[in-house]
Structure 1
Amino acid sequence: MAYPDDLLVEGEEVVIHRHPHWKMLVLPVLAFLVTIGLAVYAAALIRNLSWAGYGWIGLAVVATVIIVWLTVTPLVRWRTTHFVLTTHRVLVREGVLSRQGLDIPVSRINSVQFRHTIVERLLGCGTLVIESASDEPLEFDDVPGVEKVYAMLYNEVADSDVSD
């Protein structure tokens, strides 16, 4: 899904648009599977009891609350988090009901670094560190294809320095 063009300034183009790495969804999927498994097991245990109908309704309500809390919420959070590199800036947008964003003009970036552990290398993600005119470097975790993003961002910074 492309980043909305109406949020870009004139002459600005999206170079790369990423959501956090899919590894953030492993625990929510496991929580979903465990919740369903436990709910089915509990439903089988109470099926012959006189109050089984009420028990199944209670199980369904509890399982739904747990699934929404541990699976749907992280999935929506993942889907609504954007890391966007354009020809003019780096944008980070997060949130569903309350949104927060960060824009770093490419011309203000002093240095770009990346790091990843052996597991992150195998998964193809890592941490991108951007030092700008601000006091502390900004770290963006779980960036998929971090080396490619790093190279593209470095090229944009170099192009910005040449055009200045």
Structure 2
Amino acid sequence: MRIIVISDTHQYYRNFETIVLRNPDADMFLHLGDGESEYQLLCRNMPEVADKFRYVKGNCDYSSDAPLTELIDVAPNHRILATHGHRYRVNSTLDYLEQEALENGCDVALYGHTHESRCTYENGIYVMNPGSASCPRDGNPPSYGVLEITSAGIMTNVVFLTPKTMF
């Protein structure tokens, strides 16, 4: 299963659309919040992919009815915790996020909010922040995540929309 993970588009539709168009073979798209207006516009513009989308509410999605967190069962024996992250204090620690994942039997925890890309394996949990598709804060270009779940295992990766300039 190939899942594209997007976060923090903050009303910047163009990069969001580019990510979706670059990944026509994705089984699922997960938007981790702060981009509900772009998500709704994309679903209107591309109804053929709307059924592949899941969305969780971010701290800037003020009037959203989307859930704050979703538990998603995928493939045999894998469960994903998808959240924006602001309710788990991800700006200072990942401990609360990891604890929530462990308590819910998840082996993958996905979050956004910090606008900083990250892929780690902590305490038996693959933890990924895809960074921001519009305004990263880590010195990298805008980015998104790829989560691959196969019978051989789990892989997380961050993909940059433009090549990083090397000095």
> TM class, shorter-chain normalised?
under 0.3
Q: Which has the higher strand share?
A: 2
Structure with the bigger percentage of helix: 1
Q: Computing the radius of gyration over CA atoms, which structure comes out larger, 1 or 2?
A: 1
